[in-house]
A and B are shown apart, each in its own frame.
Chain A
Amino acid sequence: MTKYVKTICPYCGCGCSIILHVKNGKIVRTSPAVNDSINKGTLCIKGMLAHEFVHSPERLKMPLIRENRSFKEATWDEALGMVAEKFHNIKEKYGGSAFGVLSSARATSEENYLISKFSRAVLATNNIDHCARL
Chain B
Amino acid sequence: MAGLAQTMGAGAMTNSIDEITQTQVLFVIGSNTTEQHPLIGSRIVEAIKKGAKLIVADPRKTHLAERAYVHLCLLPGTDAALINAMMNVIINDGLINEEFIKERTEGFEQLRQNILQWTPERAERITGVKAEDIRRAARIYAGAERAMILYCMGITQHNCSTDNVIALSNLVLLTGNVGKPGAGLCPLRGQNNVQGACDMGALPDVLSGYQKVKDPRVREKFSRAWGVEIPEIPGLTVPEMFEAAEKGIIKAMYIIGENPVVSEAHLSHVEKALRNLEFLVVQDIFFTETARFADVVLPACSFAEKDGTFTGTDRRVQRLRKAIEPLWNSKPDWQIISELAARMGYPMTYADPSEIMDEIASFTPSYGGISYDRLEGPGIQVPCPHKDHPGTPYLHKGSFARGKGKFIPVDYTPPAERTDEKYPLVLTTGRVLFHYHTGTMTRKIDFLNKKCPGPFVEINPADAQKLGISDGDEVYVKSRRGKIKLPARVTGKIKQGVVFVPFHFAEAAANYLTIDALDPVAKTPQLKFCAVNIFAGSEEHGDS
Contacts and interface: CB of A to CB of B under 8 A. Distances in A.
B208 A113 contact: yes
Nearest to A7: B321
A126 B56 CA distance: 39
Contacts of A27: 304, 323-324
B327 A129 contact: no
20 contacts: A10-B302, A12-B38, A44-B433, A46-B442, A49-B445, A53-B445, A54-B305, A59-B299, A59-B330, A66-B294, A99-B254, A102-B238, A103-B258, A104-B257, A105-B192, A107-B257, A130-B202, A133-B522, A134-B1, A134-B156
B356 A110 contact: yes
A133 to B, nearest CB: 5
Contacts of B313: 12-15
Nearest to A131: B258
A116 B190 contact: no
B241 A127 contact: yes
B194 A129 contact: no
B231 A126 contact: yes
B200 A54 contact: no
A32 to B, nearest CB: 10
B66 interface: no
A61 B192 contact: no
A100 B17 CA distance: 35
B203 interface: yes
A112 interface: yes
B238 A133 contact: yes
Q: Give the dominant DSSP class at A's interface.
A: mixed
Contacts of B245: 100
A51 B200 CA distance: 26
Interface in B194-213: 194-197, 199-205, 207-208, 213
Contacts of A44: 38-39, 42, 433
B304 A129 contact: no
Interface residues of B, number: 140
A25 B94 CA distance: 64
A112 B36 CA distance: 23
A105 B311 CA distance: 10
A83 B193 contact: no
Contact of A13 (B257, B297, B312): B312
B322 interface: yes
A15 B316 contact: yes
A121 B228 contact: yes
Given A111-B337, A132-B194, A79 B298 contact: yes
Interface string B339-351: 1110110101000
Interface in B47-63: none
Given A12-B436, A53-B442, A134-B190, A98 B249 contact: yes
Contacts of A80: 298, 336, 339-340, 343
A47 B434 CA distance: 11
Contacts of A56: 286, 444
B251 interface: yes
Interface stretch (B135-143, B276-284, B528-536): B276-284
Contact of A112 (B193, B302, B317, B340): B193
Interface string A8-33: 11111111110010100111000000
Interface string A105-123: 1111111111111101111
A16 B37 CA distance: 11
Interface in B263-303: 263-264, 278-279, 281, 284-287, 291, 294-300, 302-303
B293 to A, nearest CB: 9
A61 B284 CA distance: 11
B38 to A, nearest CB: 3
Contact of B241 (A6, A14, A71, A129): A129
B255 A108 contact: no
Contact of A130 (B36, B197, B278): B197
Interface of B: 1, 17-18, 36-40, 42, 152-153, 156, 187-197, 199-205, 207-208, 213, 222, 226-231, 233-238, 241, 244-245, 249-260, 263-264, 278-279, 281, 284-287, 291, 294-300, 302-306, 308-314, 316-325, 327-334, 336-341, 343-344, 346, 348, 353, 356-357, 359-360, 377-379, 433-434, 436-437, 441-442, 444-445, 447-448, 451, 522-524
Contacts of A90: 251-252, 278-279
Given A76-B329, A109-B311, A134-B194, 18 more contacts: A14-B40, A15-B318, A22-B324, A46-B448, A53-B442, A65-B296, A76-B339, A87-B279, A100-B254, A109-B196, A109-B357, A109-B360, A111-B333, A112-B201, A113-B208, A115-B337, A120-B207, A133-B238
B196 A116 contact: no
Which residue of B36, B264, B296 has the most chain A CB atoms within 10 A of its CB atom? B296
Contact of A7 (B319, B329, B357, B359): B319
A11 B192 contact: yes
Given A84-B343, A100-B236, A125-B235, A113 B324 contact: no
A74 B298 CA distance: 10
Contacts of A60: 284-287, 297-300, 328, 330
A50 to B, nearest CB: 8
B333 A107 contact: yes
Nearest to A109: B196
A125 B377 CA distance: 38
A134 B338 CA distance: 28
Contacts of A99: 250-254
Contacts of A22: 323-324
